[in-house]
Structure 1
Amino acid sequence: MGQSIEPLFKSVPEAVPKDERLDEYLALVDAIRLGNQREVGLAGERLSERLLKK
């Protein structure tokens, strides 16, 4: 089995199926929270790109 983590907020499991972009952002945040050094770096770069684009 894989790792499990607590959602950042209680409402996240209900909100994610309704918002694809939120799901993507939270997946990147989870990679930062749980990933190894390489994954954290890549997720940080992609999250920064997406946030600065908008």
Structure 2
Amino acid sequence: MPTTVLWPEHDPLFPRAWADRIDEFFVGARLRNLDGVGHFTPLEAPHDFAAALAVAASSV
């Protein structure tokens, strides 16, 4: 299943340094870094979140 991971810059639970391990958990994952965003991506970056959902929905 294609997966896009939106990885925020300032997430205290999941540091950006861990992003290099995404391929251990998801096959063919696409990583998109979100600068200036914390843990609550849908609230802190609603346009980026909605755009990622729209792209995913259009590919189904």
After TM superposition, the score normalised by the length of structure 2 is 0.36
Looking at secondary structure, tell me which structure has more helix per residue: 1
Looking at secondary structure, tell me which structure has more strand per residue: 2
Higher relative contact order (CA 8 A, sep 6+): 2
